[in-house]
Structure 1
């Protein structure tokens, strides 16, 4: 099955070559698809599959890329437009030979035609973060004095906001990253923030709200 999927990707590489779409804020019906995924060849010396790793990415502009690193360390790329339903993803919509794949996904696993990809965390965001600076009318009006954020490497998060009198609001759920956006998904809602990471300081600014926070890495 893995060899069949690899051959599909290589055949598609020969006919797909399009430019990237403009970026936009994350907004997507199937958020668990978004992000970077990878699979490695567990025994490249003893298999006929001519690849070391395959990296696959989906963004909310319905644009995908696939990079195949071959055994000679060269990289071939397939990229284009895609569409998705609950159980099917179609790659290469802007070509004469689109490819159709069955898929299932969790927040950190993607099963594509029976092959399991793992979600990649491209930046060292995983860790325990605590606010050092809070600013903005919306966050100050809410009387929040401290924010704590735990981002696990398996894309699970815990977010805690503490008030002046010791009251707390805690949310747990799943997060994903797209470009410079960090999106927290939890029961009955989501929170979107633009983020930047500089050494051990994580800066968040609200999307659609007047909120600014600098969080220091605790570990």
Structure 2
């Protein structure tokens, strides 16, 4: 009998038998510091202060242990720095192969990153945020799991809500946090986490579970 753990946890708690195949080990759920991944921003709270020569800082941290920093200066010029990083549970080192790497103590949540006490906020493309309802479901194993409808809410604060309905009308809801990288959408919840692939086109979101085991095409609900 195939592994249904992720399905039970995320989608519906309504499947009592077979389900989708187990996740591949190469997905983002294998990354040790998932809450570091993302686009982080710091805005100057007092742009008129002459002692602070920046307007904003944009920090990108990726799962490949690379980073990029873009600093917009007061005179509208841009400073840019990129390289590799390392991390432990409370220390972040930027520029691992440079003569003078920068070392920070950090704390993080699903949408905030504190570097030496300075708080950066995670940003997300507005195209993904919203209330989505399935138009149709397909895939190699969608008939096995029996889900007929999915509603998904992705909030700008990186919280998600999902509701599913099966063929008998049984429904379940689940809540958690999420993060993205490129076309990966990772859902984290009490029982674990799951990596999916997504595409957004206009007001339609396609989410691919388990390499095509189930593909959900969802429309934005205004």
Q: Same fold (TM over 0.5)?
A: yes
Alignment of 1:67-78 (within 5 A): 67-78=70-81
Normalised by the length of structure 1, the TM-score is 0.85
Which consecutive unaligned segments of at least 5 residues does structure 2 have?
1-25
- Mapped partners of 2:190, 2:204: distance in 1: 28
* CA drift at 1:161: 1.7
Please, what is the CA RMSD of the aligned residues? 1.4
> How many residues of Structure 1 are paired with residues of Structure 2 in the alignment?
196
Cα 1:33/1:111, change in 2 over 3 Å: same
Per-residue deviation, residues 129-160 of structure 1 (Å, max 9, x unmatched): 00002100222211100011011110000112
Q: In structure 2, what is the equivalent of residue 146 of structure 1?
A: 149
Q: In structure 2, what is the equivalent of residue 217 of structure 1?
A: 220
* CA drift at 1:25: 4.5
Quick one: which of 180, 186, 190 aligns to 2:189? 186
Which consecutive unaligned segments of at least 5 residues does structure 1 have?
1-23
Q: In structure 1, what is the equivalent of residue 83 of structure 2?
A: 80
- Mapped partners of 1:96, 1:127: distance in 2: 44
**Structure with the greater relative contact order (CA < 8 A, sep ≥ 6): 1 or 2?**
2
* CA drift at 1:123: 3.9
What SS does structure 2 have at the residue aligned with 1:52? strand
What SS does structure 1 have at the residue aligned with 2:92? strand
Normalised by the length of structure 2, the TM-score is 0.84
- Mapped partners of 1:36, 1:25: distance in 2: 19
Q: In structure 1, what is the equivalent of residue 199 of structure 2?
A: 196
1:91 aligns with 2:89: no
Contact 2:27–2:195 at 8 Å: present in 1 too? Answer: no
